Chain A
């Protein structure tokens, strides 16, 4: 049994990454089924905006975990709904400060912000965080991720967000320091906007901006701690025995290493084995051979398993269990 796919002290998080179309969804579904069969309470979540997890299990999934078998639950995140949820939350905040709006015309700023680049990544991160916060409900959480590019950006976000939060906290501290200095000499400072008088916050505990910054920081830090902990997180890369997926997996390996995220297993999916020689496939088989020998060299110290190309699509729980068993047991 591969220890890094099983829960240790707390729940285990497994991110299944890879290029589009290599079999991420099938592999993660198979792994989840095998884990559930072993008695681990398993949740599989699809983060891919183009969902097909439901197709693999042949059921319709929603953003609420649905029980598929004993110990096996699955859900698909609804990105559009997530982003809408964001905007709604924003609208609520906007209404709270409605009386100021006419004075400084904030509406326009918010309108632009809600279409700002990267909102999908942030929404995905937020969704991952919410699942991890209630992670103790599960023994293993398997994330079926969008194609590598987006996933790497999402996994890199906590680190980047922490840097931002720290820098902004630094500036905010300087602002509050100055406000305190002024208040010592001049007394409480007031600020009038829209006929409303506000006392300027000068202590960290009473400053809403600082409180929000610190809350955000601790939320992101939690995700960062979980995904960089080898006892809690594992990344499984799925690839096909072709050059391009190999390059992409290599790049993913390098970036994950940079962010300190544990990368444990490469699943080489759809390896073609032929009993008799077919001249039309000879070029492909040669290329496959080259890639397979290359993998061993490039990913030293990392588990590599080969899954053959099956005569039929691995669908349905039985098939998935068999496939997942070979990923889990080695």
Chain B
């Protein structure tokens, strides 16, 4: 019986700490996504009409940018809901 209680408390605390950890990095993760998005957009400037970095450089970087391009595309998909994302982050209902 006593053991079960200890286990439950431990599970609760782990979950509690996990969610706390999750929350604590939420802002940094958001910032990271934005930076990755900006980085990719800068490389693809030609698509949105801003000056592009040297083509050679872009071509050399692209093969390593799978994640960043994925993030950029996801940002584009979520673009109509940026406000909701920010609101969610700051607990505004």
Those of B15-60 within 8 Å (CB) of chain A: 21-22, 24-25, 28-29, 31-32, 35-36, 38-39, 42-44, 46-47, 52-60
| B63 adjacent to chain A (CB < 8 Å) | yes
Q: How far is the CA of A212 from the CA of B36 in the complex (A)?
A: 16
Contact B46 A209 (CB under 8 A): no
Contact A109 B44 (CB under 8 A): yes
Contact A109 B66 (CB under 8 A): no
| B67 adjacent to chain A (CB < 8 Å) | yes
Chain B positions within 8 Å of A109 at CB level: 44, 62, 69
| A179 adjacent to chain B (CB < 8 Å) | yes
Contact B21 A122 (CB under 8 A): no
Given known A-B contacts A175-B36, A175-B39, A178-B32, A116 and B63 have beta carbons under 8 A apart: no
Q: How far is the CA of A125 from the CA of B57 in the complex (A)?
A: 12
Given known A-B contacts A193-B66, A193-B67, A209-B64, A113 and B55 have beta carbons under 8 A apart: yes
Whole-angstrom distance between the Cβ of A87 and the nearest chain B Cβ = 9
Whole-angstrom distance between the Cβ of B85 and the nearest chain A Cβ = 17
Contact B24 A185 (CB under 8 A): yes
Contact A216 B52 (CB under 8 A): no
Chain A positions within 8 Å of B39 at CB level: 168, 171-172, 175
Interface size on A, residues (CB 8 A): 49
Partner of B21, one of A90, A157, A168, A186: A186
Given known A-B contacts A171-B42, A185-B21, A213-B61, A157 and B54 have beta carbons under 8 A apart: yes
Whole-angstrom distance between the Cβ of A286 and the nearest chain B Cβ = 45
Partner of A182, one of B25, B35, B36, B44: B25
Given known A-B contacts A97-B63, A104-B70, A168-B39, A118 and B25 have beta carbons under 8 A apart: no
Chain A positions within 8 Å of B65 at CB level: 209
Chain B positions within 8 Å of A104 at CB level: 66, 69-70, 73
| Minimal Cβ-Cβ distance residue in B for A182 | B25
Given known A-B contacts A104-B73, A179-B32, A94 and B63 have beta carbons under 8 A apart: yes
Partner of A164, one of B29, B44, B54, B64: B54
Chain B positions within 8 Å of A103 at CB level: 70
Chain B positions within 8 Å of A181 at CB level: 25, 28
Main secondary structure of the interface of B (DSSP, over half): helix
Main secondary structure of the interface of A (DSSP, over half): helix
Q: How large is the interface on B (under 10, 10 to 19, 20 to 34, 35 or more residues)?
A: 35 or more
Given known A-B contacts A104-B70, A113-B55, A216 and B60 have beta carbons under 8 A apart: yes
Chain A positions within 8 Å of B24 at CB level: 185
| A106 adjacent to chain B (CB < 8 Å) | yes
Given known A-B contacts A178-B28, A181-B25, A106 and B62 have beta carbons under 8 A apart: yes
Those of A176-218 within 8 Å (CB) of chain B: 178-179, 181-182, 185-186, 191, 193, 198, 200, 208-209, 212-213, 216
| A100 adjacent to chain B (CB < 8 Å) | yes
Interface hub of A110, A179, A209, A213 (most chain B Cβ within 10 A):
A209
Partner of A178, one of B35, B57, B66, B67: B35
| A134 adjacent to chain B (CB < 8 Å) | no
| A56 adjacent to chain B (CB < 8 Å) | no
Contact B29 A182 (CB under 8 A): yes
Partner of A186, one of B25, B56, B63, B70: B25
**Contact residues of A with B, CB < 8 Å?**
86, 89-90, 93-94, 96-97, 100, 103-104, 106, 109-110, 112-114, 116-119, 122, 125-126, 157, 160-161, 164-165, 167-168, 171-172, 174-175, 178-179, 181-182, 185-186, 191, 193, 198, 200, 208-209, 212-213, 216
Shortest 6 CB-CB contacts between residues of A and residues of B? A208-B64, A178-B32, A93-B63, A164-B53, A161-B54, A122-B56
